[in-house]
């Protein structure tokens, strides 16, 4: 791929400058001014696209940027961008957390996912196709919103490299730029992997509390048919592998959710005076099942009887209570209690 360089530095200032900036970034995000005063707004961007990466040096006055799911779907970019902040402070909001960014911080953003940012821009950025960076990092999905601060040796190394890039972007020829892009991808992946490992170790140390919190979240959202490993991992900013390890003692996260849904349905049917098939279908839907026939098959496989059997001949109160604890047998119930206390 040939090199493509472009510099945007409007002569206009104020409202005209802001309008030009909003148009320039419109395919990626929408922008607005917190105080609606554009009289002093200024911006400039120097962009250099070079396979397999792109480099940019950008500045802009204080503003708010919103990248919505609509932007992600419309443009279809599947890139990871590393933003290194040279000056100024900003705020960053992803699906799972909000945090402040300061000079020296390097932030990874997944362009296939939404975000909100607020503050001035004074950054040097490197953009990588997902196919380039994914084999190098522990969990590419966990990069979104990850911030490497210059308070560790690897954080300082990343910062030093990005500062050097800021100074040398304009002086690299095509061959140098390609080599630098690959070297930068490898270096930043090493730094990101270290940070992801520390985060995962901290979560593992907090395993009992985290596990209880996620189980409560599952119980509160059983009616949501989209509840699953993807949504839970995103909600708690966990990698899928970490989530699976947490729920391994329960047979896995998907099995745990299905059993909790079935247990909720069992309790509801056993305590009801209704005897109609229509009521059974209503209960299935309220417990997150989208297929009545699928619900009936899963119910019979789990409990050895059909939903109709339960409403025709309700079980005793002890059996209902055992199911409420999240178990289908006394052995499993005792296992759950021991594991929770561990």
Task: Indicate if 132 and 44 belong to the same structural domain.
Answer: yes
Question: What pLDDT shows up at residue 318?
Answer: 37
Task: Indicate if 25 and 60 belong to the same structural domain.
Answer: yes
Task: Indicate if 197 and 226 belong to the same structural domain.
Answer: no
Average of per-residue pLDDT across 18-38: 87
Average of per-residue pLDDT across 69-84: 80
**Cβ burial, residue 328 (10 Å; 0-12/13-18/19+):** middle
Final residue before a domain boundary, out of 186, 204, 222: 204
Q: What is the average pLDDT score of the chain?
A: 81
Final residue before a domain boundary, out of 176, 204, 232: 204
Question: What pLDDT shows up at residue 137?
Answer: 87
Model confidence over 161-204: pLDDT tens digits?
A: 988 988 887 788 888 888 888 899 999 998 888 887 655 554 55
What is the distance between the alpha carbons of residues 257 and 232, in angstroms, rounded to a whole number? 11
Question: What pLDDT shows up at residue 212?
Answer: 80
Model confidence over 99-122: pLDDT tens digits?
A: 889 999 999 998 888 899 999 999
Give, in degrees to the nearest 5, the angle at Cα 41 between 37 and 42.
175
* Per-residue confidence band for 11, with pLDDT thresholds at 50, 70 and 90: low
Q: What is the percent of the chain with per-residue pLDDT over 70, rounded to a whole number?
A: 82
Q: Which two tokens stand for residue 23?
A: 């148009």
Model confidence over 234-279: pLDDT tens digits?
A: 888 888 888 888 888 788 899 999 999 998 888 888 877 777 878 8
CATH number for 247: 1.10.10.60
* Per-residue confidence band for 322, with pLDDT thresholds at 50, 70 and 90: very low
Task: Indicate if 181 and 242 belong to the same structural domain.
Answer: no
Task: Indicate if 96 and 200 belong to the same structural domain.
Answer: yes
Question: What pLDDT shows up at residue 118?
Answer: 94
Task: Indicate if 43 and 164 belong to the same structural domain.
Answer: yes
Model confidence over 267-299: pLDDT tens digits?
A: 888 877 777 878 898 999 999 999 988 999 999
Residue 60 has pLDDT above 70, yes or no: yes
Question: What pLDDT shows up at residue 178?
Answer: 83
* Per-residue confidence band for 75, with pLDDT thresholds at 50, 70 and 90: low
Task: Indicate if 87 and 54 belong to the same structural domain.
Answer: yes
The residue range of the domain holding 213 is: 207-341
Task: Indicate if 191 and 51 belong to the same structural domain.
Answer: yes
Stated pTM of the model: 0.58
Final residue before a domain boundary, out of 204, 223, 246: 204
Contact 107, 195 (CB under 8 A): no
Model confidence over 87-97: pLDDT tens digits?
A: 999 999 887 67
Task: Indicate if 73 and 191 belong to the same structural domain.
Answer: yes
Contact 40, 12 (CB under 8 A): no
Q: 2 - beta bridge partners?
A: none
CATH number for 92: 2.60.120.10
Question: What pLDDT shows up at residue 3?
Answer: 53
Question: What pLDDT shows up at residue 321?
Answer: 46
Task: Indicate if 257 and 114 belong to the same structural domain.
Answer: no
Question: What pLDDT shows up at residue 341?
Answer: 38
Model confidence over 125-166: pLDDT tens digits?
A: 999 888 888 889 887 878 888 888 888 888 899 999 988 988
Task: Indicate if 220 and 240 belong to the same structural domain.
Answer: yes
The number of distinct structural domains making up the chain is 2
Question: What pLDDT shows up at residue 116?
Answer: 92
Task: Indicate if 85 and 113 belong to the same structural domain.
Answer: yes
Residue 325 has pLDDT above 70, yes or no: no
């Amino acid at each position: 791929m040939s090199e493509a360089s472009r510099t945007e530095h409007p002569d206009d200032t104020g409202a005209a400058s802001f309008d030009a900036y909003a148009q320039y970034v419109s395919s990626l995000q929408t922008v607005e001014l917190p105080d609606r005063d554009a009289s002093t707004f200024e911006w400039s961007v120097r962009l250099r696209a070079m396979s397999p990466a792109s480099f940019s040096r950008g500045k802009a006055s204080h503003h708010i940027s919103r990248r919505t799911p609509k932007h992600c779907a419309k443009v279809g970019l599947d890139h990871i961008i590393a933003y290194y902040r040279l000056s100024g402070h900003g705020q960053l909001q992803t699906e799972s957390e909000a945090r402040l960014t300061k000079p020296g911080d390097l932030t990874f953003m997944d362009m296939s996912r939404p975000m909100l940012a607020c503050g001035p821009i004074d950054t040097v950025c490197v953009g990588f196709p997902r196919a380039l960076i994914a084999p190098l990092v522990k969990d590419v999905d966990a990069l979104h919103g990850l911030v490497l601060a210059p308070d560790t040796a690897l954080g300082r190394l990343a910062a030093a490299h990005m500062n050097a890039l800021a100074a040398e972007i304009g002086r690299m020829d095509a061959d140098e730029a390609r080599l630098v892009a690959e070297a930068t991808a490898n270096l930043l992946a090493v730094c990101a992997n270290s940070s992801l490992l520390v985060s995962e170790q901290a979560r593992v140390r907090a395993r009992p509390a985290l596990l209880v919190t996620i189980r409560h979240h599952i119980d509160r959202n059983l009616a949501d048919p989209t509840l699953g490993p993807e949504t839970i991992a995103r909600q708690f900013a966990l990698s899928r592998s970490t989530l699976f390890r947490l729920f391994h003692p329960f047979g896995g996260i998907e099995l745990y959710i299905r059993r909790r849904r079935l247990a909720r349905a069992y309790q509801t049917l056993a305590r009801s005076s209704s005897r109609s098939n229509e009521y059974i279908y209503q209960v299935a839907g309220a417990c997150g099942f989208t297929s009545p026939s699928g619900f009936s098959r899963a119910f019979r496989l789990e409990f050895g009887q059909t939903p109709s059997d339960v409403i025709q001949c309700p079980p005793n109160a002890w059996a209902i209570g055992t199911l409420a604890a999240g178990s289908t047998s006394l052995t499993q119930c005792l296992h759950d209690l021991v594991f929770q206390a561990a």
